[in-house]
Amino acid sequence: MIVIGLGNPGEKYDNTRHNIGFMTLDYLNKNNLGQDFQANKYNKSYESNLTLSNNNITLLKPQTFMNLSGESLIRLKKTIPPSKMIVIYDDFDLTLGSIRIRKKGSAGSHNGMKSIISILGTNEFPRIRIGIRPNHPIKGAASFVLGKFQSTEIEIINKLYPCIQESIELIINNKLEEACQKFNKKNLLD
């Protein structure tokens, strides 16, 4: 199983809302004693391996920038079916503190997902969308998603990580529907 976290490479984008996929993989790697992330030039990614729920898992961070995220999967799709890939990414349409798990679906307005669907040739793969929208109005979505999380937002995200890990473990163990029922709530922290 491969867990793909979406984000933009480089220190400039560290802890930005658009990089919640990378941040989630960092949590999983640290929390489960994964290997250090190593560059894989063939997949245009940073990768790590760990054991999760008695399964060998590869964590993959595309290093192509968000809009070209699918390029990291060109070689992998030849040996790993999309059903064995879980994509984790930010979703501006969901409020902070919520996640949505789906077996398949459209990319919506997310360019990273558009790239992945285009490269894989299917939208049938599990994904976990992490809400980043605040409860107050904002002026511009593009600048907001590329902005850094505030400390209060980081506190909320830190509380979500165990839920995300549990949802991944359920998906890995062929319990995607159970993960959806348990975690697809309006706000997990209410």
Lowest mean per-residue pLDDT among 83-92, 123-132, 147-156, 180-189: 180-189
Lowest mean per-residue pLDDT among 51-60, 75-84, 179-188: 179-188
Whether residue 190 has pLDDT greater than 70: no
Tokens representing residue 101 in the block: 């798990």
pLDDT at residue 136, as a whole number? 76
Catalytic residue among 18, 61, 129, 133: 18
Helix, strand, coil fractions of the chain, as percent rounded to 5? 40, 25, 35
- Is 110 assigned a catalytic role? no
pLDDT at residue 163, as a whole number? 95
Tokens representing residue 94 in the block: 């969901």
Query: Domain for residue 67, yes or no?
Result: yes
**CATH code for the domain in which residue 112 is found:** 3.40.50.1470
| Tokens 């990414």 belong to residue | 89
Query: Domain for residue 144, yes or no?
Result: yes
Domain of residue 132 covers 2-183
Distance CA 149, CA 147 (A): 7
Domain count, the chain: 1
Q: In DSSP terms, which residues pair with 88 in a beta bridge?
A: 5, 128
Residues sharing a CB contact under 8 Å with residue 19, sequence separation 6 or more, in sequence order = 7, 8, 13, 90
Query: Domain for residue 189, yes or no?
Result: no
Pairing of strands 45-52, 38-40: antiparallel
Query: Domain for residue 190, yes or no?
Result: no
